[in-house]
Structure 1
């Protein structure tokens, strides 16, 4: 396999949304009274929380 193919295979296996650390932070923010939205595609860099 070419290095680019190997890298592509690895990156496909990486979860993009709702990872355990992300869910923990969402719960903590909600518990502290913050309201937020997730994964906005319209902002530069597509932040997880905004």
Structure 2
């Protein structure tokens, strides 16, 4: 391993529409959490991360 991160992975839901959140009909789901984002970014750059 090149890098090991310790933290929690979260899910971020983002509205696909403009306007009040309570009126949104669809959402996008992405990964959140600084540690997870760093591990994903390093992996895309060719490093072995966990």
- Same fold at TM > 0.5: no
Q: TM-score range by the shorter chain?
A: 0.3 to 0.5
TM-score of the aligned structures, taking structure 1 as reference length: 0.35
Which has the larger helix fraction? 1
Structure with bigger RCO (C-alpha 8 Å, 6+ apart): 2
Which has the larger strand fraction? 2
